[in-house]
């Protein structure tokens, strides 16, 4: 070769990690050189292989990097040019060629496919040139990463300018007069390593694109944006589409504002508004490296100048600094490897890796850069030097981290040079590590491994000491929610904690910080949430269903009008965060109420939520006072819901926390329902009377049945009601004349639009039912079940007191009289109440055919069992020996004995059983066993309904709910609870068989022997 200056300047060459591949590669080089059509090129190839340094160079390339070896043969002519011209001149020629020749002067006349081919070949040549400069020791790491970045700038700018000017030429966009792409107002910004001019060998490039709508105008801003978006999508395709010539750069646009919902190009005004109002500290950290790399460089620089107040803040409050500390701690939790290691360790993301050095610098730049312009630099090593010069870190720390950065970047480049693959993971086996050690220039694996561990440990130690005085974020595993994509380790941590779809949870948490919810639109709210997130995730993970709990918390967050006050409460009162997590995970009904009224938490803090509720008369007066604030009937509906749901929340919370058991909670919930009916009925009647008047004397009574009648409600209970009315009398006397004739002919309400009694009270009962069921902005009050009325769904919604009495006497089935044992009159005039109560008492105390009674009860229980298949032992209502059996026993025994002992009557199951035993209707031991079973089942069932709804799967129960259920059952653990429930239900089954099943079978066999067989 005539010019050996390049070869003579080579300082070092790594030995081939694969000597056999090196020999084969050199032979292939000679073969291709011999076949070259250009004699000068053939001579160059032969001479390079014959030269001692050239031969070593070829062996080093072929023996360490299949990619570089293949590229060397492809680009033999370029290699000759490089050897003759030298590295610096050749690289300058390469970039000039991209900026000038490839763009064809104005960029419009250049064929796009030709430009794509040219860029891909230029990228291949740049990879070869930089690889040679790196492994030969002629360029230091800083020059390598800067040259890779400069080439990227040239390639991106060539493609962007071509596309912008092509769009202007075809009329898609309109440029200012005499302007080209450089004055278009469209600015392409390099972010991350590209922005800091620190690109790695096989790096993706991070880009964001903004346009100045004052420069680039259009009649329709939305249409203008969509056209620019098409340009940018074409830019991405030009750069990353793989053709037979390869690709230029893999391109990532996700660092733009709120990338999940925003277009790939947005106006600078919109971007500035986002950063000022929603920008997060991790975005500030990312913008430290932002640099205009293509398009209108002037517009880009002007935009970055506008962002300086966002990026470089002179004054940071405590919360902002804590948020920056949180970024550091979250990145510290982000591990490509949990500990410093060698085999398989990630030199970028793992402990002691490159990212820790970058964030070591950036977090402190965020804190101090607003007051010290010297710290506003993009490159990592420059930032470390500036921090040391400003006295923010010790010079020895800066030197150590700079040396580690250079070393780790060199390792990263060698890993990527092998196959032109974006990898950061060290080899996982001895052979692979030996090859890497050779490529790094080490004589043996042990010396490389020793140096690698030393550098990783240095970085890990320095990073761990950063902000070490800051309070730690308590949280399990890795929980990192910064950036634009989900951290795989965080996803794994979330799923190990019980969140079924960790990716969805991580994406949702990241979205919170983009201000899509009103509660998250202030910077302070986002900072506070960053601090409490690990504790929040841990608390939700302890609930019965972490995924459902998270979903409810997200819905709760979405409904909050503001977040600062609540998040401050969580921060100051961690126990409140635990409570909210309990509610979200363990009590769906309470979660819905809390989401609608977060102000309920104020009562928790004040202690009101745990105070005992007063009796029903006080509750009714309280609701009446609240309803006086109503301006119209819609206000009545909303105020009643707010009042009732707040108090149901109070009872549910006390049940959840063990201040009430299921039995006491049922009574309190019934009191609330009574108060609501007492409060709503007169207002519905008054509203109805404005059109239709009323009946005087007369009126309507509401009879509570079922769980409400027995004051045994759960948080999920419907209200079983019957409406009874009297017309022409006050309820205690008979109607004058023939009722049917009077109603049809003479009796009507006294309003402007009079109605006959049946129509009047049917519609009134519909109105009252609707007022309780209707869904308003404050939710619903109750679901109403009217099927226990005379004739069920076939009968009128409301019936006269006389028809109610006649039906119960003549037409009612045994099961309807069983249901009547739980009847309790809630509203009505005193005479009407007394009349209904007297009718019910007389019906229940009438003498009965015991044989028919017991057979009917047994058959009814068998039918219910057929209709309700039990799915597991925790379905406590319908399982054998469960709540239905206890209730049937109480109702049957009252019907059997009330004629002789009317004192046994009670609408409440436990009280009825107590009275039956007290008056000798059943043995005292049986009464105690049945009462105890009823109380136990009620307590556990009430908690199950509050927490998991219908039934329970113990295989997925978290420890907290297991303990709560055990406490409800008065035992220490779930196994003991199952044992206690099993024994209690066995008692119930035995008594049910003795008192109902066995006698019924005996009576059936006597009355119908064939059927009994």
pLDDT of residue 649: 87
With a CB cutoff of 8 Å and minimum separation 6, the contacts of 171 are none
How do residues 127-163 score in pLDDT, each as one tens digit? 999 999 999 999 999 999 999 999 999 999 999 999 9
How many Å apart are CA 232 and CA 187, to the nearest integer? Answer: 11
User: Residue 420: left if φ>0, alpha if ψ -120 to 50, beta else—which one?
Assistant: left
Burial of 2 (0-12, 13-18, 19+ CB in 10 A): exposed
What is the structure's pLDDT at 469? 54
Residue 490, pLDDT score: 81
Place of tokens 């205690």: 732
Q: Is the pLDDT of residue 331 over 60?
A: no
Distance CA 65, CA 76 (A): 16
| pLDDT at residue 1008, as a whole number | 64
Mean pLDDT of 8-13: 88
Confidence of residue 522 (pLDDT cuts 50, 70, 90): confident
Q: Which H helix or E strand runs over 190?
A: strand 186-191
Domain coordinates in residue numbering, the chain = 86-311, 318-465, 476-586, 845-1013
Q: Read off the pLDDT of each residue in 475-481 and give the average, rounded to a whole number.
A: 64
Q: Residue 534 — very low, low, confident or very high, per pLDDT cuts 50/70/90?
A: confident
Lowest mean per-residue pLDDT among 406-420, 540-554, 790-804: 540-554
pLDDT of residue 328: 60
With a cut of 80, say whether residue 678 has pLDDT above it. Answer: yes
In degrees and rounded to multiples of 5, residue 208 shows phi and psi of -130, 150
pLDDT, residue 737, reads 36
Taking residues 341-350, report their average pLDDT.
Answer: 90
Whether pLDDT at 696 is above 90: no
Burial of 431 (0-12, 13-18, 19+ CB in 10 A): exposed
Number of other residues whose CB lies within 10 A of the CB of residue 263: 17
String of DSSP letters for 835-868: HHHHHHHHHHTS---HHHHHHHHHHHHHHHHHHS
CATH superfamily of 845-1013: Nucleotidyltransferases  domain 2 (1.20.120.330)
Q: How would residue 329 be classed by pLDDT, with cut points 50, 70 and 90? A: low
d(CA 417, CA 423): 10
Cβ atoms within 10 A of the Cβ of 106, count? Answer: 13
pLDDT score at 467: 63
Q: Please report, for the chain, how many H helices and E strands are present, in that order.
A: 46, 10
Lowest mean pLDDT among 209-223, 369-383, 663-677, 965-979: 209-223
Check if the beta carbon of residue 15 is closer than 8 Å to that of residue 434: no
Return the pLDDT at 485.
73
Same fold flag, 86-311 and 845-1013: no
State the distance between the two ends of the chain, measured CA to CA, in whole angstroms.
114
Rounded to the nearest 10 degrees, the angle between the axes of helix 112-135 and helix 87-96 is: 160
Q: What is the mean pLDDT of the chain?
A: 88
Q: In the 3-class helix/strand/coil scheme, how is 732-755 assigned residue by residue?
A: CCCCCCCHHHHHHHHCCCCCCCCC
The answer to whether the bond into 697 is cis (omega within 30° of 0) is yes
pLDDT at 216 > cutoff 90: no
Written in H, E and C, the secondary structure of 304-327 is HHHCHHHHCCCCCCHHHHHHHHHH
Q: What angle do CA 183, 187, 188 make, to 5 degrees?
A: 140
Mean predicted confidence (pLDDT) in 725-736: 66
Can you tell me whether residue 498 is helix, strand or coil? coil
Tell me the backbone φ, ψ of residue 798, rounded to 5 degrees: -130, 145
- CA-angle at 996, arms to 991 and 1000, nearest 5°: 145
> Which of 345-349, 616-620, 854-858, 955-959 bottoms out in mean pLDDT, i.e. has the lowest?
955-959
The pLDDT, as a whole number, for residue 571 is 79
Q: Give residue 106's pLDDT band: very low, low, confident or very high (50, 70, 90).
A: very low
| Residue 99 DSSP one-character state | I
Q: Which residues contact 558 (CB under 8 A, 6 or more apart)?
A: 517, 519
Q: What architecture is domain 86-311? A: 2-Layer Sandwich (3.30)
Q: Which residues pair with 187 in a beta bridge?
A: 210, 295
Q: Do 385 and 405 meet the contact criterion of CB atoms below 8 Å apart?
A: no
318-465: CATH architecture: Up-down Bundle (1.20)
Residue 104, pLDDT > 60, answer: no
Residues 760-816 pLDDT 10s? 999 999 999 999 999 988 888 999 999 999 999 899 999 999 999 999 999 999 999
> Within a 13 Å sphere around the CA of 59, how many CA atoms are in the beta-carbon half?
19
- Of 209, 96, 196, the closest CA to residue 154 belongs to 96
What is the per-residue pLDDT for 873? 75
Is the pLDDT at 336 greater than 50? The verdict is: no
Q: Coil, helix or strand for 117? A: helix
What is the C-alpha separation between 702 and 469, in angstroms, rounded?
A: 66
Q: How many CA atoms lie within 13 A of 863 on its CB side?
A: 8
Give the pLDDT confidence score for residue 799 in this predicted structure.
96
pLDDT digits (tens, 9 = 90+) for 642-653: 899 889 988 988
Q: Is the pLDDT of residue 867 over 70?
A: yes
Contact criterion met (CB below 8 Å) for 790 and 799: yes
Helix axes 318-333, 354-368, angle to 10 degrees: 180
Structure tokens at 855: 């057979």
- Close Cβ partners of 534 (under 8 Å, ≥ 6 residues apart): 473, 474, 475, 476, 479
Taking alpha carbons only, the member of 336, 403, 391, 340 closest to residue 364 is: 391
Residues listed for the chain: 1013
User: What is the DSSP code (8-state) at residue 425?
Assistant: B
Which percentage of the chain shows pLDDT scores above 90? Answer: 59
- What pLDDT does 21 receive? 96
The answer, yes or no, to whether residue 410 has pLDDT greater than 70, is yes
CB atoms within 10 A of CB 435: 21
Average pLDDT on 621-641 reads 92
Gyration radius from the chain CA atoms: 41
pLDDT at residue 248, rounded to an integer? 95
User: How, if at all, do strands 186-191 and 205-211 pair?
Assistant: antiparallel
Q: Do 576 and 570 form a contact (C-beta atoms < 8 A)?
A: yes
């Amino acid at each position: 070769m005539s010019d050996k200056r390049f070869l003579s300047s080579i300082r070092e060459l790594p030995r081939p990690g694969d000597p056999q591949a090196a020999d084969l590669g050199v032979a292939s080089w000679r073969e291709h050189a011999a076949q070259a059509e250009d004699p000068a090129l053939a001579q160059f190839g032969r001479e390079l292989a014959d030269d001692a340094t050239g031969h070593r160079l070829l062996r080093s390339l072929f023996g360490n990097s299949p990619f570089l070896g293949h590229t060397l043969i492809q680009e033999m002519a370029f290699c000759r040019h490089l050897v003759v011209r030298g590295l610096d001149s050749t690289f300058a020629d390469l970039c000039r060629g991209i900026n000038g020749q490839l763009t064809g002067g104005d960029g419009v006349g250049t064929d796009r496919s030709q430009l794509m081919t040219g860029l891909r070949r230029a990228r291949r040549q740049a990879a070869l040139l930089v690889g040679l400069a790196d492994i030969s020791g002629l360029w230091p790491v800083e020059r390598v990463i800067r040259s890779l970045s400069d080439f990227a700038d040239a390639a991106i700018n060539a493609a962007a300018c071509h596309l912008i000017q092509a769009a202007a030429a075809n009329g898609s966009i309109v440029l200012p007069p005499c302007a080209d792409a450089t004055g278009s107002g469209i600015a392409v910004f390099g972010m991350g390593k590209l922005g800091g001019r620190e690109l790695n060998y096989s790096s993706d490039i991070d880009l964001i694109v903004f346009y100045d709508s004052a420069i680039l105008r259009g009649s329709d801003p939305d249409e203008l944006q969509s056209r620019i978006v098409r340009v940018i999508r074409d830019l991405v395709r030009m750069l990353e589409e793989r053709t037979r010539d390869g690709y230029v750069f893999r391109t990532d646009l996700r660092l733009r504002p709120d990338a999940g919902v925003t277009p790939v190009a947005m106006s600078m005004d919109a971007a500035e508004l986002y950063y000022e109002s929603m920008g997060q500290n991790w975005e500030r950290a990312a913008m430290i490296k932002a640099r205009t790399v293509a398009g209108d460089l002037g517009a880009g620089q002007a935009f970055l100048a506008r962002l300086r107040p966002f990026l470089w803040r002179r004054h940071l409050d405590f919360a902002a600094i804590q948020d920056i500390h949180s970024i550091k701690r979250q990145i510290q939790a982000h591990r490509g490897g949990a500990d410093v290691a060698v085999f398989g360790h990630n030199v970028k993301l793992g402990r002691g890796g490159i990212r820790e050095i970058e964030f070591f610098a950036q977090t402190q730049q965020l804190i101090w850069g607003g007051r010290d312009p010297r710290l506003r630099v993009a490159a990592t090593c420059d930032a470390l030097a500036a921090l040391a010069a400003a006295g923010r870190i010790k010079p020895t720390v800066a030197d150590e981290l700079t040396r580690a950065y250079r070393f780790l970047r060199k390792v990263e480049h060698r890993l990527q040079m092998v196959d032109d693959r974006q990898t950061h993971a060290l080899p996982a086996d001895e052979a692979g590590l030996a090859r890497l050690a050779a490529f790094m220039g080490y004589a043996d694996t042990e010396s490389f491994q020793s140096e690698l561990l030393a550098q990783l440990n240095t970085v890990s130690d320095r990073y761990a000491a950063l902000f070490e005085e800051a309070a730690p974020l308590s949280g399990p595993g890795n929980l990192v929610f910064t950036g634009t994509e989900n951290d795989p380790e965080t996803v794994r941590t979330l799923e190990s904690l019980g969140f079924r779809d960790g990716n969805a949870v991580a994406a949702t948490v990241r979205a919170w910080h983009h201000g899509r919810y009103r509660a998250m639109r202030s910077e302070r709210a986002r900072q506070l949430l960053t601090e409490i997130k690990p504790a929040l995730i841990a608390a939700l993970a302890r609930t019965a269903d972490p995924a459902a709990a998270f979903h409810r918390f997200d819905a709760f967050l979405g409904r909050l009008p503001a977040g600062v006050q609540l998040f401050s409460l969580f921060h100051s009162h961690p126990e409140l965060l635990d409570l909210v997590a309990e509610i979200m995970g363990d009590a769906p009904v309470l979660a819905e109420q809390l989401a609608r009224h977060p102000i309920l938490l104020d009562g928790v803090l004040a202690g009101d939520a745990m105070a005992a509720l007063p009796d029903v008369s006080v509750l009714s007066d309280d609701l009446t006072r609240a309803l006086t604030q109503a301006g119209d009937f819609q206000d009545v509906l909303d105020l009643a819901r707010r009042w009732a749901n707040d108090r149901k929340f109070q009872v549910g919370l006390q049940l959840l926390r063990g201040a009430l058991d299921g039995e006491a909670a049922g009574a309190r919930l019934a009191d609330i329902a009574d108060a609501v009916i007492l409060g709503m009925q007169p207002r519905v009647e008054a509203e109805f009377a404005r059109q239709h008047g009323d009946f005087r004397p007369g009126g309507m009574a509401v009879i509570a049945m079922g769980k409400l009648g027995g004051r045994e409600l759960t948080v999920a209970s419907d209200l079983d009601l019957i409406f009874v009315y009297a017309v022409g009398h006050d309820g205690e006397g008979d109607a004058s004349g023939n009722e049917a004739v009077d109603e049809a002919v003479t009796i009507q309400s006294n309003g402007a639009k009079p109605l006959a009694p049946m129509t009047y009270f049917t519609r009134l009962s519909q109105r009252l039912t609707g007022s309780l069921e209707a869904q308003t902005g404050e939710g619903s009050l109750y679901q109403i079940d009217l099927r226990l009325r005379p004739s069920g769904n076939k009968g009128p919604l409301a019936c006269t007191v006389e028809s109610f009495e006649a039906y119960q006497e003549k037409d009612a089935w045994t099961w309807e009289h069983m249901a009547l044992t739980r009847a309790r009159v809630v509203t009505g005039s005193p005479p009407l109440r007394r009349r209904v109560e007297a009718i019910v008492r007389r019906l229940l105390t009438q003498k009965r055919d015991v044989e028919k009674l017991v057979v009917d009860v047994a058959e009814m229980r068998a039918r219910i069992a057929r209709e309700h298949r039990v799915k597991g032992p925790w379905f406590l209502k319908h399982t054998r020996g469960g709540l239905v059996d206890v209730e049937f026993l109480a109702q049957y025994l009252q019907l059997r004995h009330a004629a002789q002992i009317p004192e046994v009557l009670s609408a409440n199951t436990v009280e009825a059983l107590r009275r039956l035993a007290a008056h000798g209707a059943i043995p005292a031991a049986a009464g105690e066993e049945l009462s105890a079973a009823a109380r136990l089942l009620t307590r556990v069932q009430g908690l199950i309904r509050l927490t998991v709804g219908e039934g329970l799967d113990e295989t997925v129960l978290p420890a907290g709910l297991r303990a709560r259920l055990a406490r409800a059952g008065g035992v220490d653990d779930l196994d003991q609870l199952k044992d206690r429930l099993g024994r209690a239900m066995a008692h119930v089954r035995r008594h049910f068989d003795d008192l109902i099943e066995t006698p019924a079978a005996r009576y059936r066999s006597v009355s119908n022997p064939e059927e009994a067989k």
